[in-house]
């Protein structure tokens, strides 16, 4: 039992249950299964993006350009749909993945080949991708009346009573779980985060692996581009502006260490869900926008403190073991 409780995900899941219980005292309908399913659906895009960011952070890197990638890719598919409504939605999704992959590959190549810190690279491409969106669209918006009903309705359609958007999130979660727990790439990602130098001696190509994780992050940003635009039915230069902070916050709350090497798929999903519950619940119980931001910020700071204490505690345990040996 004691070993079981060491998992950060258990505590985070318990915190979410307590949070739902506290909200239910003010708004009983919040805990209804139908409403919780809606919260999951509303948080699906953030979950998907957090998973893409997670693999980057685990390698001691960061991708600040995900929201700009989302904005550019969303504009591309929205303009394509407006100009050619007959293009099937699966084809548009493939195009979104390809565009996102290309943008992620640019980040990865700059980090890999030029050995530029990822925070510098993605801070630059954050602005470039959003500027490219402005150039592509000429500053114009693509509104709902220019989008086809299929473009808007695809993710809202229900399968087995669950919206397609939620199914896409579940599929992405499953794919990342397999990637991180059942593949050599997943093990390499963790190894690089724990000790990049030792990873080289074990035969892991650190630069190539970082390139791959940026490609994954880019594809996730591209997928989220279509999902975001079709959900909020508007494409503009301002789409998801500043949303990269929410993505990183979801990872931090979920226990993904900014220092790399520590974190899990479950943690990233729960971190996003925690933020999703807060953003859905606080307006319902009439908390002012100022306090909403204050509460969200406090949760992030608390998560960072807990992460720092947890990592320090792990170091002490290692030292005690070494001393005992």
Better-predicted residue by pLDDT, 197 or 282 = 197
Which residues, 6+ apart, have CB-to-CB distance to 124 below 8 Å?
none
Q: What pLDDT is attached to residue 6?
A: 63
Which is more confidently placed, 288 or 73?
73
Average pLDDT over residues 171-180: 95
CA distances from 273 to 37, 70, 134, 189 (A): 11, 20, 32, 24
Global pTM reads: 0.89
Mean predicted confidence (pLDDT) in 147-172: 91
CA distance 17 to 42: 18
Q: Is the pLDDT of residue 220 over 90?
A: yes
The mean predicted confidence, pLDDT, of the chain is 86
């Amino acid at each position: 039992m004691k070993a079981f409780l060491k998992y950060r995900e258990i505590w985070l899941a318990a915190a979410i249950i307590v949070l739902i219980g506290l909200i239910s005292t003010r708004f009983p309908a919040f805990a209804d299964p139908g409403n919780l399913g809606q919260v999951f659906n509303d948080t699906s895009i953030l979950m998907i993006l957090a998973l893409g960011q997670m693999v980057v952070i685990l390698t001691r890197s960061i991708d600040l350009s995900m929201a700009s990638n989302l904005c550019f890719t969303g504009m591309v598919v929205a303009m394509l749909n407006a100009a050619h409504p007959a293009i099937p939605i699966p084809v548009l999704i493939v195009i979104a993945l390809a565009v996102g992959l290309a943008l992620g590959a640019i980040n990865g190549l700059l980090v890999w080949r030029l050995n530029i810190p990822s925070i510098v690279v993605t801070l630059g491409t954050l602005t470039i991708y959003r500027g490219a969106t402005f150039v592509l669209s000429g500053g114009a918006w693509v509104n709902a009346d220019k989008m086809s009903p299929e473009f808007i309705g695809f993710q809202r359609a229900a399968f087995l009573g669950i919206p397609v958007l939620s199914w896409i999130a579940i599929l992405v979660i499953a794919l990342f779980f397999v990637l991180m727990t059942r593949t050599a790439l997943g093990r390499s990602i963790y190894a690089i985060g724990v000790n990049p130098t030792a990873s080289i001696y074990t035969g892991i190509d650190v630069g190539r692996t970082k390139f791959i994780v940026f490609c994954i992050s880019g594809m996730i940003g591209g997928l989220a581009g279509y999902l975001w635009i079709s959900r909020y039915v508007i494409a503009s230069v301002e789409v998801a502006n500043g949303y990269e902070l929410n993505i990183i916050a979801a990872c931090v709350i979920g226990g993904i260490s900014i220092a790399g090497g520590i974190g899990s798929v479950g943690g990233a999903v729960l971190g996003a869900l925690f933020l999703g519950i807060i953003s859905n619940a606080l307006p319902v119980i009439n908390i002012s926008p100022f306090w909403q931001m204050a509460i969200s910020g406090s949760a992030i700071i608390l998560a960072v403190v807990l992460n720092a204490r947890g990592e320090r505690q792990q170091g002490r345990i290692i030292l005690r073991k070494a001393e005992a040996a």
